[in-house]
Amino acid sequence: MRVEPIIETGAHFMNGNEACAEGALAAGCRFFAGYPITPSTEIAEHLAERLPEIGGVFIQMEDEMAALNAVLGATWGGMKGMTATSGPGFSLMMENIGLAVMTETPCVIVDVQRGGPSTGLATKVGQGDMMQAKWGSHGSYEIIALSPSSPQEFFEQTIKAFNLAEEFRTPVIILADEVVGHMSEKVVFPPPDQLKVTPRKISKQKPGEYYPFQVNGNGIPDMVKAGDGYRIHVTGSTHDYRGYPYMTAEAQANLIPRLVNKIRDRKKDLIDIKEIDCQGAEVLVVAYGITARTSYYSIELARQAGIKVGQLKLNLVWPFPEEVIKKWASKVKALIVPEINMGQMVLEVERATAGKCKVILVPHPGGDIHSPESILEAIQGSAK
């Protein structure tokens, strides 16, 4: 068995999927269940080698529904768990994402997006799952979702996703894309003492005193490990503080607002948006994932042409940073929103701006990234 450190510190050359896998290990992930699907498979392949080295568990399941179910079970057994997939598999996971929300099971779900719908472009890039991540399961709930733009960010955001999952006792989604997953760059692993890793908050109550959904001051229940002598009942049905099904409107009114508000009430703490050269700008490009990287050259060209332009880079897309968008909408002429889809997050941008400035979508159906010229053309048109 491998001895510490779990990850080798320093600079490494690897692709984004491998960086994600190493970030999971650094965050304490010791269980992965998944089903191979392009373009996320390298995450599973990497963890299939690495997890046994450090005493972890890797399981290839029969499908994506079973994969997420296995992760939920392992989490209640005391492990930190993750799965990874792409569009069609992400669709299959939607029911169990709702189960994870309802049972308040902390875990990480990585979606390396590809061109769709259906089988679509299995090996090529897309960003078409952004709204599905927010609204894909049924019922009222809030979700936390991050969007890396480089292998380095993929590593860092995977650690952050595990930390947020534990802090909020909720599933957290990483919305990567094929280009970020497959591009190879330098990734720096900091020393272990420089990594922030949030441990699971285990209840100090004794068996007989503990209830799995009894909240504390922040509205988030502590957990225990199944098998440690505690009575645990976990169900996807509306339930009371004991976890027992309680099928009434009163129980729904007690449970669902708490599940929603434990995230909504701390939305300001969650916002992660990078403001690049925004002061004095007349136009801002709002982008995420690989499209944020594509936009850099377009912005540089626009500046050379005398246009005052900056960027709002969305590192965390859900909850949506509407207050930040609203702030800048009153200061600029236009917000440019390039997406590798036919228009998804642009709807949130439009909602947040409330007509205070122009919002211009630069859609792209997928298969490859935007040409810098297409974003530049939108910038030039909006600046007139």
The average pLDDT across 47-62 equals 97
Tell me how far apart the alpha carbons of residues 119 and 121 are, in angstroms, rounded to a whole number: 6
Residue 205 lies in a domain: no
pLDDT at 101: 98
**Do 188 and 277 fall into the same domain?**
no
| 31: pLDDT strictly greater than 70 | yes
Q: What amino acid occupies position 309?
A: V
**Do 171 and 318 fall into the same domain?**
no
Neighbouring CB atoms inside 10 A of 356's CB total 16
- The residue segments making up the domain with residue 44 are 10-194
| 2: pLDDT strictly greater than 60 | no
Q: What is the CATH number of the domain that holds 377?
A: 3.40.50.920
**Do 36 and 182 fall into the same domain?**
yes
The pLDDT-based confidence of 3 (bands split at 50, 70, 90) is very low
The pLDDT-based confidence of 76 (bands split at 50, 70, 90) is very high
Q: Which one of 177, 194, 211 terminates a domain?
A: 194
**Do 69 and 187 fall into the same domain?**
yes
Q: What amino acid occupies position 12?
A: H
Token pair recorded at residue 349: 């941008």
Residue 1 lies in a domain: no
The average pLDDT across 36-40 equals 98
**Do 182 and 44 fall into the same domain?**
yes
pLDDT at 4: 56
Per-residue pLDDT of 231-261, as tens digits, reads 999 999 999 999 999 999 999 999 999 999 9
pLDDT at 1: 42
pLDDT at 324: 98
| 339: pLDDT strictly greater than 60 | yes
Q: What is the CATH number of the domain that holds 114?
A: 3.40.50.970
Per-residue pLDDT of 172-208, as tens digits, reads 999 999 999 999 999 999 999 999 999 999 999 999 9
pLDDT at 239: 97
**Do 29 and 148 fall into the same domain?**
yes
Per-residue pLDDT of 112-139, as tens digits, reads 999 999 999 999 999 999 999 999 999 9
Residue 220 lies in a domain: no
**Do 40 and 143 fall into the same domain?**
yes
Residue 166 lies in a domain: yes
**Do 16 and 149 fall into the same domain?**
yes
pLDDT at 288: 98
**Do 190 and 277 fall into the same domain?**
no
Tell me how far apart the alpha carbons of residues 383 and 268 are, in angstroms, rounded to a whole number: 31
Q: Which one of 164, 194, 224 terminates a domain?
A: 194
Q: How many domains does the chain have?
A: 2
**Do 167 and 57 fall into the same domain?**
yes
**Do 34 and 157 fall into the same domain?**
yes
| 108: pLDDT strictly greater than 90 | yes
Q: Which one of 153, 169, 194 terminates a domain?
A: 194
Q: Three-state secondary structure along 164-222?
A: HHHHHCCEEEEEEEHHHHHCEEEEEECCHHHCCCCCCCECCCCCCCCCCCCCCCCCCCC
Residue 214 lies in a domain: no
Radius of gyration of the chain (CA): 21
Per-residue pLDDT of 357-379, as tens digits, reads 999 999 999 999 999 999 999 99
Residue 348 lies in a domain: yes
Residue 356 lies in a domain: yes
Query: How far from 19 is each of 55, 107, 146, 152, 293, CA to CA, in Å?
Result: 20, 18, 15, 7, 18
| 142: pLDDT strictly greater than 70 | yes
Residue 109 lies in a domain: yes
**Do 169 and 50 fall into the same domain?**
yes
